[in-house]
Each structure stands twice: as C-alpha cells, then as structure tokens.
Chains A and B, each alone.
Chain A
C-alpha cells in the first residue's frame, strides 16, 4: 500500500484569510469596534447624506415623495447589509423624516393625528421590507454557498475520476479541504493487513490508535462526526463498499471540530466519494497484479511446454524408430532384437527422467495449477499401475482398497504421478519378484494410503533425506534416475494439503504413508439395480 500525508494549505484560502484578518484586528480594540459597527456607520452616513440633499428640495417636493426616498433607502440597506443595520436604517430614517419634513419642521411634535398613522404605517412598511430583504439576502448567500460546494465537489470529482494511482488523490484532496474548510488534513492508509502505519513526521500529529479504532469500527454507514472527534481533530473513515480505505484526519483551526450543517454535509459527500475512488484504485491495482501474475505464469508454462516438446520429440522419434526396426520385415536376428529392446528401455528411462525434471521445475516454481476434481482413489491408483506397467513386470502387486473410501478432491494426473513415482521407486530398490502392497483406509485425519514392500528397506536415518532433491538410494539394477521421484511425490502431496512419510516395517521392507485430507465430497444420486 501507500502512505502519505498532507496538510491543508492556508495560503490563498480566502475564508481563512478573512478570519486571519479579523484575528489581527481583534488585537487592537479601537479597530475592532470600528469593524463591528462598520455597517451602522455606513447607514448613518447614507441617511445623513440623503437628508442633506433633500432638505433644500423639500419645499418643492411633496411630502409623500420624500417618504418614498427614505423607504427606498431602507429597502436598499436591508438588501445589502445585515439585519441590525437595516433596523437602524428604518428607525433613523423615520425619525429624520418626522423631524425635518413633517410640519412643524425641526421638531418631533405631531400636530395632526394623521401623521401619527403615517408614522406607524411607515414603520410597518420598513420592518416588512427589512424582513423580506434580509430573507432574500440569506437565500442568496445559501444558494451561493451551495453552488460553491457543488462546484468544488464537481471539481474534486473531475480530478479524482481521472487518477490512476492512490498518491494522486492527495493533491486534489488538499485543495478541496483548504477551499472548503479551514483545516489541516492528513490522509492515512492501511497496509495489506489493515493496519494503519507510517513513520513520517506527520504521525505525531495523529492519534494512531484512535484512527485505527475508527477504521475498524465504522463499516457500512458514515458515523456521526461528533463521535469521531479526538483532541480537536475529526477522524473520518473513507469508506469503500467492502472495507474502509483509509482515514482522513481533519484538524479544524477555529471551531474545535464543530462543523456547520452545510460543511458537514459537504464533508460527508466528499469523504464518501474519496472512499469510492480509493476502492476503485484498489480494485484496479489488484486486477493489474492478477493480470501480471497470469501473464508470467503463462510465459513460464509456455517455456516449460516448449522445453518439454523440444526434449520429448527427438526422444519419441528415437523410441519410434527403434520400435519400427523391431517390427520390420524381414525380422532382425535375435541379438539385434535384444539390443533394440535395450535401446527402447533406455529411451523410456530418459523420457521418464525428462518428465520428472520438468515436473520438478513446475512444482519448484510454484506454477502448478492443480485441476482438482472429486476422484475415486481406486481409479487413480489403477491408472498409476497401468502406466507403470513395464517397470512393475515381475512384481507381485497387492491392492487393498475399501469401497468405503470417500471421493477425494485431487488433481488426478498429479496424484497418478505420485503413485507412479512411488511404485517406480519401489521397483528400483527391491529385487524382481518382491511383493508390493497398496492399501488405503479412512482414519480421523484423512484417507491413509500405505505403499509397502518386502525389500531391503530404507537405510537407517535416511527416512527423511530420501524426499530431498537429487538423493539416490542404493539401487538394485544400477538404474539411477535423477533422484527427483520422491521429492516430486512430497511436493504434490503437500500441494493437496496432505503429508507423506517413510519408515521401515518391522517385518522388513519400506513403508510409505500418505495422508490425503478428507473434504466435503458432493453427493451422487445413485440408481438401483434392476434385473436387466
């Protein structure tokens, strides 16, 4: 996996800057007050200027028109400035209107009851306007915020869909966080075993056990962010559909981990998306790896297959021609026939050794793909006896195989080779006429198969060594072989989850014990005998 970290970039973040500015100003109390009442000052200035402009004109204008100018002013203020300023504007403009423009001028005295009604109506209109305008302004602000969120989510999505490696997620995420939250962010990814780890210097900023807990415990749905808070940072899981792909640690600088509703929903959407992107990358990486493995396996298999073809073809031609000579007409003299028989036998020995070398090469490279099917053990043993026919000529073979032996899941070709190699091995180390016993029974640990002979047995202390590569025992006929037979046997048995060991029998001779694990064989529906 990959590990990386990133920190929210503060430079260029306009939200952060605004807060930074106000923080600086906060240190000077005069500026602070000025900033706080800046809108109110603006209102007073505006109304003052309007009044100054209107005063010389009021003899020419109807009172109602002057009133309209003030109402428009209130409306504009309500539209552009915050609530407190617009309320101030309402009261201030009404007061000024009555003071300067309602007779008697330059006095709050009201001489006619009608004017009192005007005052009340004007106040009402101003308040309603203020309310509507500020509502409108809020809507605009919300819509703008929402649009900004959607745009940044869209940009994030656009950037993340194109990426090919997990490291490329870091930069877009950093920009996204700094654009939308005033925060430091760190991404931590788990390794293959699912543990979060890392050595980078950012790790001391992070509470790793807590992050691990969040990673392990929150599957399926995103948790309430308040439960993810630890030491002022939010630990948010990046969820995939199968497992969590990582943790984002979000350290908000201002608000101690408390997010606004909008920020929270934006964060939810973005972490869900990041999780999915990471999952897609993980899948893609896995697929690439699998493809690579398939490719290299195919290559090695092709290499071994062509090697096998190239070695076997001339040997096969030699064997064939020796055979053809033996059957040629007119028949060859007896001595030549015997020699041809010898040539043929030697060719078959070479072939069997070539096969063993290739088998071992395959097994050694771990590229044997077992074609496992549910097999009848008796059948596999039977075909091993058939294929090693020539080697076993002259031996007494005794097979005891109960019909209660369950189906075993195995690669028949490979297991046949196990028995063939074992039988060949016995034939090599015992004199012709020896007795070879094959017996199988079901035990608790699996199906136990014994291959026993009454020959000279295994040399003392060699019971394990005979399974090593290129180890020869003392052979009877001097027919050496490459010494791979038994190591292939062990490799194949182990590939089937079984075990093999050798020992000497009390009554003399060697005994090989193979244990094949019992599986859960499928049921076979049998029909019943009828008198045909």
Chain B
C-alpha cells in the first residue's frame, strides 16, 4: 500500500465483538487500538489521533452520546457508532450529537467495511482530498449533474421540484451515510420545520416515484426507520 496505514480507535466493552471487529479491520489494513472503556478510549483518541473512532453506545462507564459530545468538543475525527439496542431514539441522539453513522449489531463484515468507507470518503471530500467526478454523480441508472442542475434516469430527463432537488443533493453529498430527519429538515426547510418530519416523508415519496424503478421497494433512497434516509449507490 502506497498510502499511509489508516488507524482506528475501537471503543467496545464486549470482548468478543471487539475481537471480531478488530480482526475484520486489521484484515483490511487498518491499525487498530482497542479500548474497553470510554475513559480509555478518550485517552487513546487524544494520544493516537486516529482516522476513525468506532464507539459502542452501551459502555459501562459512560453514556455513549455523552462521549460523542465530549469528542466533538475537541476533535473532528469521524465517529462510527455501534449499537446493540433496537431503540432508534438513542441512535438519533448519537447522530445529532455528531456521530457520522451507525451500525446495529449484529452486522456483517461487508456492512462494516462499506460504512467505514463511506465515512472516510466523506471526510476526505470535506478535506478536499477527493476529486469530484466532474460534478456528475451516478447511482444505478440515475445521473445527477450538479453543475447544470440536471437529473436524468436511463438517459431521460427527470423533473424535480426545487425541494426534491435539494434533498437529493444533500443525500448525494453524503452518499452511503445516514442523514437524520432533523438534519435534512433543517437544511432544506429551515429550523422551523424540524418537528415536521411528515414534510420530508411526503417529498421523499415523490422523489422515489421519480427516481426509483419501484418506489415501494427502493434500491437507492433507503429509509432508516425512525432515523432518517440514506442514499445507497
């Protein structure tokens, strides 16, 4: 590998899960620093300055959401959250506190790698390391031309409303990552609308009808129930 090795601080109290995540990460060329507690994890992060933090929300010593808030006070390192809990509220809280994405246990190795890639790619793009593909973004048979503000599907132009287009560009800019309802509502409609997720749902339904082959069984504009939306390539 010509690139310098990327590093991860893994904060997880369950030994078996820590072991297999570390195994999967090392197999993919990451340098992994393991921590058992939030306190240890914070110290590792401060001293190692990793490229990514993987944080379990159910740590014994501290509330995971608190840990994220504290990390965000002094670092911008991407955070991927692991949660065993099916409770969506906690994940939303973690994302709103500044986590980049989440995985619900049990998750497969391919899922883990896809998520890590998406998180790191967004970070790279934000830092200006990755080139944008000539302003044209493609997923499935859909093409989004960011420069000319044109969307087409299978070569035929698709007419979007300004709001639909705005939502789509947000999803494109964060491809592969979940965006919470709150985040999208705030970006597209403004802070007065954050308590009106039905607006987003209605517009997403419209967007799906225009972009997806089968709007009832979408392949790209995915719903994360109770959390938000994710664009999958």
Closest B residue to A351 by beta carbon equals B106
Closest A residue to B202 by beta carbon equals A524
The size of the chain A interface, using a CB distance under 8 A, is: 55
Which residues of B are found within 8 Å of A530, using beta-carbon distances?
Answer: 159, 161-162
Closest A residue to B145 by beta carbon equals A532
Closest B residue to A528 by beta carbon equals B161
Chain A residues in the interface with B (C-beta under 8 A): 305, 308-309, 312-321, 323-324, 326-329, 347-348, 351, 355, 371, 373-376, 378-383, 385-386, 397, 399, 401, 403, 407, 412-413, 416, 438, 521-522, 524, 526-532
Which residues of B are found within 8 Å of A315, using beta-carbon distances?
Answer: 106
Main SS class of interface, A:
helix
Inter-chain CA distance A375–B17, complex, in Å, is 35
Which residues of A are found within 8 Å of B199, using beta-carbon distances?
Answer: 524
Subset of 7 A-B contacts with CB under 8 Å: A309-B85, A316-B107, A373-B198, A397-B217, A399-B217, A412-B226, A527-B161
Q: Are A316 and B106 in contact (CB under 8 A)?
A: yes
The verdict on B163 contacting chain A, using a C-beta distance below 8 Å, is: yes
The verdict on B233 contacting chain A, using a C-beta distance below 8 Å, is: no
CB-contacts of B105-162 with A (<8 A): 105-110, 149-151, 159-162
Shortest distance between the CB of A277 and any CB in chain B (Å): 39
Inter-chain CA distance A376–B208, complex, in Å, is 12
Inter-chain CA distance A308–B226, complex, in Å, is 19
The verdict on B86 contacting chain A, using a C-beta distance below 8 Å, is: yes
Closest B residue to A380 by beta carbon equals B225
Chain B 179-221, CB within 8 Å of chain A: the 1/0 string? 0000000000000000011110111111011000011111000
The verdict on B30 contacting chain A, using a C-beta distance below 8 Å, is: no
Which residues of B are found within 8 Å of A326, using beta-carbon distances?
Answer: 109
Q: Give chain B's interface residue range (CB within 8 Å of chain A).
A: 35 or more
Number of A-B contacts (CB under 8 A): 152
Q: Are A379 and B223 in contact (CB under 8 A)?
A: yes
The 3 nearest A-B residue pairs measured at CB? A317-B16, A319-B106, A316-B105
The verdict on B67 contacting chain A, using a C-beta distance below 8 Å, is: no
The verdict on B14 contacting chain A, using a C-beta distance below 8 Å, is: yes
Q: Are B163 and A385 in contact (CB under 8 A)?
A: no
Which residues of B are found within 8 Å of A397, using beta-carbon distances?
Answer: 217
Which residues of B are found within 8 Å of A379, using beta-carbon distances?
Answer: 201, 204-205, 208, 223
Closest B residue to A401 by beta carbon equals B216
Q: Are B162 and A527 in contact (CB under 8 A)?
A: yes
Q: Are B86 and A407 in contact (CB under 8 A)?
A: no
Q: Are A407 and B198 in contact (CB under 8 A)?
A: yes
The verdict on B87 contacting chain A, using a C-beta distance below 8 Å, is: yes
